[in-house]
Amino acid sequence: MVNKKWSRRFFIGVCITPALLLLTLFMVVPTVQVFRMSLYSWGGFSNNQEFVGLNNFILLWDDMNFIRSFQNSIVLIVFVALATIIIALFFAYLLTNAKVKGSSFFRIIFYIPNILSIVVIAGIFSAIYDPESGLLNNVFGMFSLENLEQKWLGNQKIVIYSVAGALVWQAIGYYMVMYMSSMASVPKSYYEAASLEGAGKMRQFFSITLPLIWTNIRTTLTFYIISTINLSFLLVEAMTGGGPDGSTEVFLSYMYDQAYTNSTFGYGMAIGVVVFIFSFVLAAIVNRITKRDVLEY
């Protein structure tokens, strides 16, 4: 019996050891290195590493470019999260509870943007936002709304929202499918009972659907934060390059520029540490704020 128990433990150990090694090698060690190098002044390509302690972090708070990238990241996280969750919930509820013909077809259509490369999405929206031949300005012109036409990627005041629009379009389908799977598990009898009591579709959504899928929404809120921070870097690099005049610079794009373009690797790693801590703190705050009693059915 004892030998069998130890054999089982040995087998489990053999199975999980490769995963633990890979996790340690490609996640834990690089993360520790980021924290370590944030305390050094180093160009990244020489052997001269000067220990400067927290000086890199002190410099961050006087760096207006970093502060602007921080503000842009916050705008994207808030805007993309709110817009995506509202639109995804709307279409998920519509396709789940309304009698829409070809709902499976619409699921596929909505999900397609999620499987496209960020570079492809950047190309699509660059064409849509083109001030001369772009779809958006042409639509406004078609309806005699020329006053709404803009240089969507050239106006510093609105370009960050143009980037956000592309991120929302890319994310809607993925989260819509997640919400649909949760909504499909809500018993139909609840809606039938609510209808008999005179509750309309809107009341049913806020009183039945939303509370019963709230756990799923809380989980996706964390996804929004992490994915927006990661994808915004890729989209900005492919779509605007941080321009015009740094107005679309975000956390990771600014970190990349400092670490690999300006050869201030230690300073770039300090930005990486701030992003790392910020992501976890924000996720914890959101998780705390949205916490509520779990409803069972």
What percentage of residues in the chain have a pLDDT greater than 90? 8
CA-based radius of gyration for the chain: 24
Percent of the chain residues past pLDDT 70, beyond the cut:
95
Looking only at the bridges linking them, the beta strands covering 40-41 and 50-51 are antiparallel
Long-range contacts of 199-203 (CB under 8 A, 24+ apart): 201/97
Is the pLDDT reported for residue 5 higher than 80? no
User: The tokens of 219 are what?
Assistant: 């989980």
At residue 231, the pLDDT reads 87
Torsion region of 102: left, alpha or beta (phi above 0 gives left; psi -120 to 50 gives alpha): left
Confidence class for position 87, pLDDT limits 50, 70, 90: very high
- Distance of alpha carbon 232 from alpha carbon 84, whole angstroms: 14
Going along the chain from its start, the domains and CATH numbers come out as 58-289 (1.10.3720.10)
What value does the mean pLDDT of the chain take?
85
3-state DSSP percent of the chain in helix, strand and coil, to 5: 75, 0, 25
**Which amino acid, 34?**
V
d(CA 253, CA 242): 7
Encoded tokens for 111:
């999900």
Omega of the bond prior to 30 within 30 degrees of 0, cis?
no
237 and 98 Cβ atoms separated by less than 8 Å:
no
User: CA-CA distance, 19 to 71, in Å (whole number)?
Assistant: 37
Query: How far apart are the C-alpha atoms of 121 and 141, rounded to whole Å?
Result: 24
| Model pLDDT for residues 250-284, shown as the tens digit of each residue | 988 888 888 887 778 888 899 989 998 998 888 88
Nearest to 205 by CA among 97, 99, 100: 97
Of 227, 216, 225, nearest to 292 by C-alpha is: 216
pLDDT digits (tens, 9 = 90+) for 282-295: 888 888 887 766 55
Taking residues 3-32, what's their average pLDDT?
84
51 phi/psi in degrees, rounded to 5: -70, 125
- Paired with 50 in beta bridges are 41
